[in-house]
Amino acid sequence: MSENIGVLVEKLDALTATVERELGTVREQAQQASAEIRRLTQDQERLNSEVNSINSRMQASTELLRAELQSKSTELEKKLGDVNTALMNQERVLEGIPIEQKEKEAAERLESARADFLINSKGLFNSLTDRPVQYLCAESILRECEKRGITVDSFSGLANKNAAQEIVAHFRMFKDGTPAADREQATWFESVGELVGKLRDAKRRLADENAGIAATVKSLRAERDDLAGQVAQLEKPEPPMLAKRRHLIGTACAVLGCVIIGVCILALIFADLGAAVPVAGLVAGLVLLAVARMNSDAHRANKLNSLRTRHASAVEKLKAIEVEAPERIKRSRAELDRFTQDMVRLQISPPDRIDDDGPFDQSLNVAEQRQTKWRNDHPEIAKVLP
């Protein structure tokens, strides 16, 4: 039999998901139809109430008002007829949705799938001769049944119920009756598998952490070098001609901006030009003042101080990462020590050499080698846990 426990579980879960999805679609259709019926029923009751109200008013009305009410009543009765037709159609739609049949079919398909799972699992178990592997197979099947709520009560048919009871009881009896030596071998293999999984997770977490730190260091170094270049550029003495031109531009923009703003304020107060022209002039004046500010010595000094602060911050962050490096190694060593204790408990010799750049690699290799050796000594495990 080529199917292992994982394949059998995947097939069961896939069919379960398909059945639940199909059943969910039918239930949603029924809910939508029921909601539409409720809405139409409310419309029907409202229209009936309005028609009855108009009919009552018509009895005590003049001929002119009676004619108007008759017209409105006719309109409402037409709407009521449309609603009645739509309501009957929607009721037929709901009647045509086979919700009970679908639920019954879904229950039968799920029960059949669970029965097939148990039967195929028993067939897989019967194909095994290695006692530790048989123990692992029985334990895995019982565990998967417990996860999915597969019990004797899951079956309604007497044949399936009896078969399920027999199969489950057989697995439990075998598991409970397994000799201690075979049980210890199977438990050892499971424990090594858990250890290998933990070591792989730790290795992956460390690799992700190191990759994130490397990216941060690269970004900070680029930022530090860029800021250092900008600081050096501003710290260099400015050529006299450039400084003179900068001062002239700043002075001219400041004077012109103040004049424009003043004229615009006077125009807003005294002149009858509307608000658009003075406001546009105010905006232009403010822009000129901003340009004057950017060409001032104070702005140049503030910019230099800001760049120095940012540069110092980037340098500090890089130093913090360098200081943190020994702590990261210490944390990895502490985690590795816990794994080493597990290896000793499982009678696996820890590696003689530990590489701080990949502290989990050697231990993982040793554990995987012992796991592979057990697999080679018990080749039937491939039928259970490939």
pLDDT value of residue 12:
93
pLDDT value of residue 206:
83
Domain of residue 358, residue span = 192-377
pLDDT over 70 for what percent of the chain? 95
- Say yes or no: 114 and 20 in one domain: yes
Q: Answer for the pair 164, 155: CB distance below 8 angstroms, yes or no.
A: yes
* pLDDT at position 1 over 60: no
Determine, yes or no, domain membership for 286.
yes
pLDDT over 90 for what percent of the chain? 30
Q: Answer for the pair 332, 363: CB distance below 8 angstroms, yes or no.
A: no
- Say yes or no: 228 and 165 in one domain: no
Distance CA 250, CA 291 (A): 7
- Consecutive H or E run containing 146: helix 131-147
Please say which residue of 108, 142, 177 terminates a domain.
177
| SS3 state of residue 308 | helix
DSSP 168-222: HHHHHHHHHHS-HHHHHHHHHHHHHHHHHHHHHHHHHHHHHHHHHHHHHHHHHHH
Q: Answer for the pair 314, 223: CB distance below 8 angstroms, yes or no.
A: yes
pLDDT value of residue 357:
67
Q: What is the pLDDT of residues 175-220, one digit of tens each?
A: 999 999 999 999 999 999 999 999 999 888 888 888 888 888 899 9
- Say yes or no: 166 and 83 in one domain: yes
- Say yes or no: 107 and 170 in one domain: yes
* pLDDT at position 276 over 90: no
Determine, yes or no, domain membership for 185.
no
Mean pLDDT for 295-300 is: 80
Determine, yes or no, domain membership for 383.
no
pLDDT category at 125 given cuts 50, 70, 90 is: very high
* pLDDT at position 271 over 70: no
Residue type, 364: L
Please say which residue of 129, 145, 177 terminates a domain.
177
Across 97-106, 126-135, 333-342, 346-355, which has the greatest mean pLDDT? 126-135
- Say yes or no: 91 and 237 in one domain: no
Residue 280 burial (CB < 10 Å; 0-12/13-18/19+)?
exposed
Q: Answer for the pair 143, 171: CB distance below 8 angstroms, yes or no.
A: no
- Say yes or no: 154 and 201 in one domain: no
- Say yes or no: 60 and 157 in one domain: yes
* pLDDT at position 2 over 60: no
Q: What is the pLDDT of residues 241-262, one digit of tens each?
A: 888 888 888 888 888 888 888 8
- Say yes or no: 154 and 255 in one domain: no
- Say yes or no: 169 and 318 in one domain: no
Q: Answer for the pair 303, 238: CB distance below 8 angstroms, yes or no.
A: no
- Say yes or no: 167 and 221 in one domain: no
Taking Cα atoms as reference points, which of 318, 338, 368 lies closest to residue 197? Answer: 368
Distance CA 117, CA 16 (A): 12
Q: What is the residue whose two structure tokens read 């057990």?
A: 374
Q: What is the pTM of this model?
A: 0.65
pLDDT value of residue 147:
92
Determine, yes or no, domain membership for 149.
yes
End-to-end CA distance of the chain: 13
Mean pLDDT for 299-317 is: 88
Q: What is the pLDDT of residues 48-85, one digit of tens each?
A: 888 888 777 776 666 666 677 777 878 888 888 888 88
- Say yes or no: 260 and 352 in one domain: yes
CA angle 16, 20, 26 (to 5 degrees): 150
Beta strands in 270-378 (DSSP E): none
Q: What is the pLDDT of residues 340-386, one digit of tens each?
A: 888 888 888 888 777 766 778 888 888 999 999 999 999 999 988 87
Distance CA 320, CA 317 (A): 5
Mean pLDDT for 218-237 is: 88
Determine, yes or no, domain membership for 382.
no
* pLDDT at position 277 over 70: no
Distance CA 323, CA 317 (A): 10
pLDDT value of residue 11:
93
Instruction: Count the domains in the chain.
Output: 2
Determine, yes or no, domain membership for 155.
yes
Q: What is the residue whose two structure tokens read 């049944």?
A: 145
Q: What is the pLDDT of residues 130-167, one digit of tens each?
A: 999 999 999 999 999 999 989 888 888 878 888 889 99
- Say yes or no: 277 and 333 in one domain: yes
Please say which residue of 177, 208, 224 terminates a domain.
177
Poorest-confidence range of 120-134, 200-214, 265-279? 265-279
pLDDT value of residue 272:
60
Determine, yes or no, domain membership for 103.
yes
DSSP 61: S
Share the mean pLDDT of the chain: 86
Contacts with 295 (C-beta within 8 Å, 6 or more apart), sequence order:
246, 247, 249, 250, 253
